[in-house]
A and B are shown apart, each in its own frame.
Chain A
């Protein structure tokens, strides 16, 4: 059989699956290479446990209920912190995007605070809150605030003024103008902020839980380090990666749903 005869069949076999599976090829290869390196002793188990060992550690923790408990605690902190910081950021973004007065009053201050790395506040936060929940929530909320604030503000300020004039010509009052023109126009930029914020949310949480917590994934990893359980350490890292991916996928799905009008999201 010549290559010419095979090609069409190969194509028709691969094309429909390309979307769903292609992205997992590289992680799978890495996993296989990793396993091979550990099994052959090329990488000592002290440095890096084999994927199967990590899976085993995960299974044990799952059975004991510890894993679910820690994931839940971290997930709860992440989402509550995100909601608090995100809503405040969104509110300030709206206010400063829509009102000159509000912008004059607060924007400069916020831009100044933005230049302080929020993780640098950890010592202060521990002094204020100790290591209880509010410390973590505060840090996550603070980290999430700025990307959402900045992108909401940018989105609102860059809504096409011609569309706003059109809305006014056709008799839209402020609330309708906001609902029909300004908010949908700012939405793509707001989503950019949300995606940035999700990244910062996990980062902040990992650091905060590693330094100052008595539960959660970061705490689990630190605990494991003390007992030299390197498989659990790696497991926590992988779970963070997985949770980050889940959050990102969720925001992408929401984006596709609400921005279906956008040329970038249209199917051909």
Chain B
């Protein structure tokens, strides 16, 4: 069995089992991406990054290195500049000062963004919406086939000819994910992509995100309000405060991770305390 297959298997299991996972066992089945497995992702280095809007300095010196293939979650209070940072990384805005560089030369198709709103074209079928994600390859002969396989990946193959308006919120977000993935990006930047979904849909979307990240081994940067989402998915959680990275926390918990497990809850609690500042008791709120 190849490493890829075993990863996929262990993930499929994770969705069925309800009992707490045996971590020894999980580790033994290669649940963490082994170092020797080559990632398609790009590494990312940010140096002395600042961003101001007029006189409002939102980012005040961000230094960060993200190794290829890592899953990084960014949390912080509302308005602290998470979206700003993500937009800079995705190249949607230009930094005021500082540099952002990727490990290798990149094409536009290598970096994809997903937002809280699905941003689907209401006048295009689900399939053509996914085709948009191919970028300049949209016109190539195999565009349809590639879009179809991306749709299959997110489990929406049978909706290919529907209008987006008939889909549920979660389904729309899955189409947006398929559109982001269809060009096989090497960096995926996500700005609260699950923020507008109900709790159950959000959990199944988290599993989907975790699975495609495992399978496609891109570098993933997820901005989220939900600390439990951050610790469930990420290798590393960054807390932004006062325009800087105030905390950089390794999530050293084996995958597949079990929602509600003691380790995750403990880590979530400590990150929440960081977020809320000293003196606040996150669990007592």
**Bound complex: CA of A255 vs CA of B123, how far in Å?**
13
Is A171 in contact with B166, judged by CB distance below 8 angstroms?
Answer: no
Q: Does B135 contact A (CB under 8 A)?
A: yes
Q: Which chain B residues numbered 207 to 243 have a C-beta less than 8 Å away from chain A?
A: none
Residue from B113, B117, B121, B136 having most chain A Cβ neighbours under 10 A: B121
Q: Does A13 contact B (CB under 8 A)?
A: no
Is B121 in contact with A162, judged by CB distance below 8 angstroms?
Answer: no
Is B117 in contact with A266, judged by CB distance below 8 angstroms?
Answer: no
Q: Does B133 contact A (CB under 8 A)?
A: yes
What is the distance, in angstroms, from A154's C-beta to the closest C-beta of chain B? 18
B 54-69 to A, binary, CB cutoff 8 A, 1 in contact else 0: 0000000000000000
**Bound complex: CA of A120 vs CA of B113, how far in Å?**
55
CB-CB under 8 A from B119, the residues of chain A are: 162-163, 165-166
CB-CB under 8 A from B112, the residues of chain A are: 169
CB-CB under 8 A from B115, the residues of chain A are: 162
**Bound complex: CA of A32 vs CA of B249, how far in Å?**
84
Q: Does B9 contact A (CB under 8 A)?
A: no
**Bound complex: CA of A162 vs CA of B179, how far in Å?**
15
Q: Which chain A residues numbered 152 to 176 have a C-beta less than 8 Å away from chain B?
A: 162-163, 165-167, 169-172
Q: Does A24 contact B (CB under 8 A)?
A: no
Partner of B165, one of A162, A184, A185, A261: A261
Is A171 in contact with B135, judged by CB distance below 8 angstroms?
Answer: yes
Is A170 in contact with B133, judged by CB distance below 8 angstroms?
Answer: yes
Given A170-B133, A171-B135, A171-B136, are A181 and B121 neighbors across the interface (CB < 8 Å)? yes
**Size bracket of the A interface:** 20 to 34
**Bound complex: CA of A184 vs CA of B124, how far in Å?**
9
B 9-33 to A, binary, CB cutoff 8 A, 1 in contact else 0: 0000000000000000000000000
Q: Does B122 contact A (CB under 8 A)?
A: yes
Q: Does A262 contact B (CB under 8 A)?
A: yes
A 164-200 to B, binary, CB cutoff 8 A, 1 in contact else 0: 0111011110000000110011010000000000000
A 107-134 to B, binary, CB cutoff 8 A, 1 in contact else 0: 0000000000000000000000000000
**Bound complex: CA of A263 vs CA of B167, how far in Å?**
11
Is A266 in contact with B132, judged by CB distance below 8 angstroms?
Answer: no
Nearest first, the 3 closest Cβ-Cβ pairs linking A and B are: A171-B135, A184-B123, A166-B119
18 intermolecular pairs with C-beta atoms under 8 Å apart: A162-B115, A163-B121, A165-B92, A166-B119, A166-B132, A169-B112, A170-B132, A171-B109, A171-B135, A180-B132, A260-B163, A261-B123, A261-B165, A262-B122, A262-B123, A263-B165, A266-B165, A266-B166
Point out residues on A near B: beta carbons under 8 Å. 162-163, 165-167, 169-172, 180-181, 184-185, 187, 259-263, 266
